[in-house]
Amino acid sequence: MKTIDALLAEGVEGKRVFVRADLNVPLADGTITDDGRIRAVLPTVKALADAGAKVVVASHLGRPKGAPDPAFSLLPAAERLGELLGAPVAFAQDTVGPAAHDAVDGLQPGQIAVIENLRFNAGETAKDDVERGAFADRLAALADVYVGDGFGAVHRKHASVFDLPARLPHYAGYLIATEVGVLKKLTDDVKRPYAVALGGAKVSDKLGVIDHLLERADRILIGGGMAYTFLKAQGHEVGISLLQEDQIPAVKEYLKRAEDKGVEFVLPVDVLVSPDFPDLKTKAPANPTTVAADAIPADQEGLDIGPETRKLYASKLSDAATVFWNGPMGVFEHPDYAEGTKAVAQALLDSPAFTVVGGGDSAAAVRTLGFDENAFGHISTGGGASLEYLEGKTLPGLAALEN
């Protein structure tokens, strides 16, 4: 795919450049709680503005129902973008209507506008190709050139991600180029030993990537809520822990395949349990109990990996040459259940390996728990996109940029 460097070499002064970013940031009462995705697109936006482009930034935020919803407005993201750039950023209160055209028409070379949430128009996410294409046509009227830089959305066949690039000269922004380069190191050019740490709530979210990694990884560590389905598959009591009964046959198959292929599958040896899920708003003391992973009481819920598992996982990551981590080890949002996730993050920092944090909750955890982002090899901005890439799937947004 052609990158933004090629576009800059061709010249962009005075051109309207549509940047499909990922400004899908978490909000609490209208306040951004993590601006990582906004900061990730800064190099692309700044390079275009410095080169004299009229930059039109677009993104989705949340899951509005195809109509305007003030709770999902991109205005806070636009304001934060301006703060980070140290420059005014215009904001249009619609996507393809009069406000958007006025904002774009009012841009001078080097200036930036953000249009309202793309998902306020049903055409953005429409399954119907004609409806989606009609919205892409209206977006194309706002620009002369397309730059894709919203990696967190490239696995979606949406109008601004898949259809719009076909209507304009198109290039990959710095973020997407970086993300793809990193993921190739996890698929095409892997340095071994290759260790993978997978967490998060549901096994079903990770089945595809586990299937793919069984052919590539040397060691797979399992934590988070998904660990209890693995423990149940081994015949252990898991109490009232998160469990996907319907996934037990698939988990048993993966454990058998791992054994046959010589892939080391590492499960928790102890866990932190409680009869009650912690209060994440007040963060009141939860007073968990540590028990062996094969001795979870019937009335208790596993909420984090235990101290012996933390040591075990750190040792299993210490000699790796490549590490991919996706998903927290426990309910990291509560301090009593954050130590497992902290331990994995610290193990990545202590390892000489090329380390990749696979976006989503893992990236949020790194920032929430106070780690230096720059100390990791790479922190992805797209959890779902990263996983689907590692599954070997064709990502619509990347395919569109490659055409």
Q: Which residues are known catalytic residues? A: 37, 202, 360, 384
All residues at 6 or more sequence positions from 10 whose CB lies less than 8 Å from its CB, including other chains: none
Amino acid identity at 401: L
The H or E element containing residue 139 is: helix 129-140
Burial of 399 (0-12, 13-18, 19+ CB in 10 A): middle
Question: Do 211 and 247 contact (CB within 8 A), yes or no?
Answer: no
Compute the distance between CA of residue 140 and CA of residue 329 in angstroms, rounded to an integer: 43
CB 278 within 8 A of CB 303: yes
How would DSSP label each residue in 271-325? Answer: EEEESS---TTT------EEEETT---TT-EEEEE-HHHHHHHHHHHHT-SEEEE
* DSSP assignment string, 5-51: HHHHHH--TT-EEEEE------EETTEES--HHHHHHHHHHHHHHHT
Helix ranges restricted to H, 351-402: 360-368, 383-390, 396-402
The total of other beta-carbon atoms located within 10 Å of residue 218's CB is 18
Q: 314: closest CA among 341, 340, 343?
A: 343
What residue type is assigned to position 368 of the chain? T
